[in-house]
Chains A and B, each alone.
Chain A
Amino acid sequence: MSLEDLKQIPFGKTVIELKNISLAFGGVKALTDVSFDVKKGEVFAIIGPNGAGKSSMLNVINGFYKPTSGAINFAGTDRNEMEPELAAKSGIARTFQNIALFKGMSTLDNLMTGRLLKQKQNFLMQALYFGPVAKEEEEHRERVERVIDFLDLQSIRRTPVGSLPYGLQKRVELGRALAMEPEILLLDEPMAGMNVEEKQDMSRFVLTVNNELKTTIVLIEHDMGVVMDISDRIVVLDYGKKIGSGLPKEIRNNKTVIDAYLGVSDD
């Protein structure tokens, strides 16, 4: 499995297949026998009430959690678990539910870290800052500046991200993931805690990335309006089990799903 294998897969064909994934923390069953697949080029949403196991699912996909049983087929190769570093190298980028930025670094440096895997110069060359190093730095800086322009981050380029408001931090985190130029983007509640306007901006960014860069997107989101609007297919989890999957309009009319949501509608 490699980035190349992933690139070869035609659009509309399966890139990630999760087979009977179960995950337990001691006695807590976070996931029980969940199966679904993600197709290349789609916006795939994972929804469900709090504690349903959505974030755990993303963590299984990029190797943060090791499933207790089940298999992951990624770009045609079966494996029992993923490794975070391997996932990054194979073109998977992600954002976290509770923002995982490098708080002491500026927006620009945070985005530049997204390029680290693609920087090849060794440390002696870096220490001398010879021609090829300067050139490489510049090349990556140019890529990063494109992301900065796309996400409108120009004015906070030099600001340490720890001091930015929540909504902007979410955007910078998306920027870092985009700087990796991923094939697959895993987004854990990218719009949580945002106002309507910020949500609209974020939806637009996600859709543009999907349409223009053809990036496959796996998204967790609580706002049903947004989910129904932007996703191609949806899987619904509840108490770690899959309770439904399909197109947005199928999900909207699915009895079990409605019940699950009504059951927790008071939150």
Chain B
Amino acid sequence: MIYKETGQYKSSYKSDHAIFPLLQDKIAFSTLMFIAFLIIPFVINSYWEKAILVPFLIFSLAAIGLNILTGYCGQVSLGTGGFMAVGAFSTYKIMTYFPDMNIMIIILISGLITAAVGIIFGLPSLRIKGFYLAVATLASQFFLVWLFNKVPWFYNYSDTGQITVSERTMFGIPVTGAEAPSYATYLFCLVLVVTLSFAAKNLIRSKMGRSWMAIRDMDIAAEIIGVPPLKTKLSAFAISSFYIGVAGALYFAVFLGAIEVTESFDIMTISFPVLFMIIIGGLGSMLGSFLGAAFVVTLPIGLKFLMVDMVGLSAVTAKHFEITIWGLLMIVFLIVEPHGLARLWSIAKEKLRRWPFPY
């Protein structure tokens, strides 16, 4: 009976509709925020920053974005890599043209540009659904990557086709470029992720979220209660792309620093892994977006440790095993637990609530 809700009566609809209705969840969340903001920045090192925390935060944002579109609004997309590239290249171009603009603002504008692009590529969703829409988004993935490769203006006519970030600061501390300290890049991403997550959760629990879910579950019925299908789907494309664009901007500016579009935003390195995240984490679940991102970011590290360092396999063999394990995991999750890790978590909570009584 660790998760005891006895005595926690909701006296208003407002408290019943809160993001964390249970006291235990509130405490857990506050503790997590305390550790994230006030402990980790002091103990973080470059390994934790580069290998785990910053990629986890950035991919959480991308996963939230895709979950809004696919998990909440039911529109499958394989274009995540392409949209992240839009965010990255927007940031690069804005940095070139406005050397004095604040990096936070640049990144948010990049999100808005990606949202506009998302609306354009979302237009076919009115006519096509499911598998066919997935193929259409796949086309947009290839088109966008091709575009950023073929038009030299996007990479400022550099010989390599690479784009490289220049140093930008927040409150005098560099957050981009080689000199940026680990705690600064981490905190910069953390602030964006926490703020945007709350915004996403708020959207999901109000009018917008219910319109998305109505379209997802049955678009015909949604229409008869007055939910306009085109507008609603496009709003999901726009907001989803905003999140993915911000993730792409951070991925380039804060995480990698220099990128080459075909390599960094490929369907195999971005689009599929982010889709795995929301399937493994849980479609239509905020918590699932985070769990999925954490899982996908840490599993390769864990597997490498296990297979190369402990068992002594060669790195190449370990990589092959890793790919096999991914495939197996996808199948297992799709068949056994389509609601993902988030569902397993709520089952565990349900058990804790009853513990130590079996019934």
Contact = CB atoms under 8 A, between A and B. Distances in A.
A102 B224 contact: no
A64 B224 CA distance: 8
Interface of A: 62, 64, 84-85, 87-89, 93-94, 96, 100-105, 109, 112-114, 116-117, 119, 121, 123, 126-129, 133-134, 137-138, 141-142, 145, 176, 180
Contacts of A129: 202, 205-206
A134 B202 CA distance: 10
B320 interface: no
B208 A126 contact: yes
Contacts of B217: 101-105
B253 interface: no
13 contacts: A88-B224, A89-B226, A102-B213, A103-B217, A105-B214, A113-B222, A116-B214, A117-B226, A119-B207, A123-B203, A129-B206, A176-B225, A180-B225
A144 to B, nearest CB: 9
A145 B67 CA distance: 29
B226 A102 contact: no
B223 interface: yes
A85 B202 CA distance: 26
B13 A113 contact: no
Q: Is the interface of B mostly helix, strand, loop or mixed?
A: helix
Contacts of B226: 85, 88-89, 116-117, 180
Interface string B87-100: 00000000000000
A134 B218 CA distance: 27
A138 B11 CA distance: 12
B105 interface: no
Interface in B191-209: 199-200, 202-203, 205-208
B26 interface: no
A104 B217 CA distance: 6
Nearest to A123: B208
A112 B218 CA distance: 15
A134 B225 contact: no
Contacts of A109: 210, 213
A114 B225 contact: yes
Nearest to B228: A85
Interface of B: 12-14, 17, 199-200, 202-203, 205-208, 210-211, 213-214, 216-218, 220-228, 235, 239, 284
Nearest to A186: B224
Contacts of A121: 206-207
A113 B214 contact: yes
Contacts of A145: 13
A85 B223 contact: yes
A126 B227 contact: no
Given A123-B208, A138-B13, A104 B284 contact: yes
Nearest to A92: B224
Contacts, number: 100
B14 A134 contact: yes
**10 residue pairs, one from A and one from B, having the closest CB atoms:** A88-B226, A102-B217, A100-B221, A129-B202, A117-B226, A127-B199, A126-B206, A141-B13, A119-B207, A84-B223
A96 B220 CA distance: 11
Nearest to B72: A104
Given A85-B223, A104-B217, A112-B210, 11 more contacts: A87-B224, A88-B224, A89-B226, A104-B284, A105-B210, A105-B214, A116-B210, A127-B202, A128-B199, A129-B206, A141-B13
Given A85-B228, A113-B225, A141-B13, A100 B220 contact: yes
A189 to B, nearest CB: 16
A126 B204 CA distance: 9
A96 B13 contact: no
A109 B214 CA distance: 9
A113 B218 CA distance: 12
Contacts of B205: 129
Contacts of B199: 127-128
Contacts of A133: 202, 206
Contacts of B206: 119, 121, 126, 129, 133, 137
Nearest to B224: A84
Nearest to A180: B225
A117 B232 CA distance: 13
Nearest to B199: A127
Given A102-B217, A104-B217, A126 B202 contact: yes
A100 B12 CA distance: 30
Given A101-B218, A104-B216, A116 B203 contact: no
A138 B223 contact: no
Contact of B218 (A94, A103, A141): A103
B213 A105 contact: yes
Nearest to A129: B202
A116 B225 contact: yes
With a 10 A CB-CB cut-off, give which of B205, B207, B239 has the most chain A CB atoms: B207
Nearest to A117: B226
